[in-house]
Amino acid sequence: MNLDERLSELRKIINSNLLLDIYGARWKHKWCKMFSHFIQLVEQQEIKLSEEDIGNIQRYIEDTKAVILFKPLDDESRNMLRKLLEFLYNVNENSVSKNADINLDILLCIKMLDACMTLNELLGVSREIINKLKESLAYAPPAFKVAEHYLKTLLDEIEEEDE
């Protein structure tokens, strides 16, 4: 994917209503303008971040950490946030005034997004296992009669953990 395609994709993400839902009204008023400004800097191939730009990036990262920790995110939202964070990372990395703390915070946010994905996958697999256990309890040939009490005990323990 070349630079123009990536920037076009970023513009679509920036104008997405999904991000408005995630960040609220602050998205359109503050963060959308910030990303549009950074896209212009990249297009001009002159990335000089001012102190205000650096402060805006830091505030965006703090908002994003809160979103990752406190809002339920679906796959599409996580992918959009990841692309925005990667864009900010590249902007900062290629800036004349590169800030190591910003890069570290962005990488932390990306790791947090990955951890959320892993937990969601784990929950999905756990639900599938529970459903299969319930199905196996309903099917009880003579060979399973011996293990029926064991399966019920497992199911009870799983239900207690869910509560």
Residue 82 counted as domain residue: yes
Number of folded domains in the chain? 1
What is the pTM assigned to this prediction? 0.68
Residue 160 counted as domain residue: no
* 71-112 pLDDT per residue, tens: 888 888 888 889 889 888 888 887 777 888 989 999 999 999
**Range of 13's domain?**
3-122
Tokens (6 digits) for 39: 């896209």
* 30-44 pLDDT per residue, tens: 777 777 777 777 777
Residue 17 counted as domain residue: yes
Q: Following DSSP, what letter does each residue of the chain receive, concatenated?
A: --HHHHHHHHHHHHT-HHHHHHHTHHIIIIIHHHHHHHHHHHHTT-----HHHHHHHHHHHHHHHHHHHHS---HHHHHHHHHHHHHHHHHHHTSTT--HHHHHHHHHHHHHHHHHHHHHHHHHHHHHHHHHHHHHHH---HHHHHHHHHHHHHHHHHHHHH-
